């Protein structure tokens, strides 16, 4: 979830959602959910998870899970979450938050499109010095 824009306070509803999000992300239950998600990935895909943008190995310790939807926060489905490394997760949010039009197609579709575009851009630039790998 993005931070409030400078000079624009959050509504009470938005502040409550943000508080619930922060509490969930800091909870032992979220760590357990991440472990279950990883086990499901391995059982379903047959490999260890990797960042869906750059391919860097994803681990419980260093990987992020991007929420394609916050609709089931605390009760996420496997498909609600996408493994990303921290730099790629930051990039996804930078694009998602920079253009309000992304919200019109829904968070899941916007996330999928942004991740696919970043992956394609990265594939086209592979081997360039200074690129995140």
The pLDDT, as a whole number, for residue 29 is: 95
Asked if 56 contacts 133 with a C-beta cutoff of 8 angstroms, the reply is yes
The pLDDT, as a whole number, for residue 127 is: 57
pLDDT digits (tens, 9 = 90+) for 20-38: 889 999 999 999 999 999 9
State the DSSP code for 50.
Answer: B
Place 133 in a pLDDT band, splitting at 50, 70 and 90: very low
pLDDT digits (tens, 9 = 90+) for 90-132: 999 999 988 888 889 999 999 999 999 999 998 887 655 455 4
- pTM equals 0.82
Smallest CA-to-CA distance from 92 within 31, 83, 127, 33 is with 83
The token pair at 74 is 């605390």
Asked if 55 contacts 37 with a C-beta cutoff of 8 angstroms, the reply is no
Helix (H, G, I), strand (E, B) or coil at 83: strand
pLDDT digits (tens, 9 = 90+) for 3-18: 555 566 778 888 888 8
Residues 80-90 have a mean pLDDT of 97
């Amino acid at each position: 979830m993005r931070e409030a824009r400078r000079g624009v306070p959050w509504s009470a509803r938005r502040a409550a959602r943000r508080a619930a999000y922060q509490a969930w992300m800091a909870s032992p239950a979220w760590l357990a959910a991440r472990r279950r998600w990883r086990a499901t990935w391995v059982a379903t895909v047959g490999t260890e998870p990797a960042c869906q943008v750059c391919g860097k190995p994803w681990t419980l310790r260093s990987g992020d899970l991007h929420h394609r939807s916050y609709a089931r926060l605390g009760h996420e489905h496997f498909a609600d979450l996408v493994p990303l490394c921290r730099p790629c997760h930051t990039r996804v949010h930078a694009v998602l938050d920079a253009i309000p039009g992304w919200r019109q197609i829904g968070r899941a579709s916007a996330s999928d499109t942004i991740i696919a575009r970043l992956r394609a851009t990265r594939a086209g630039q592979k081997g360039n010095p200074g690129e995140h790998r």
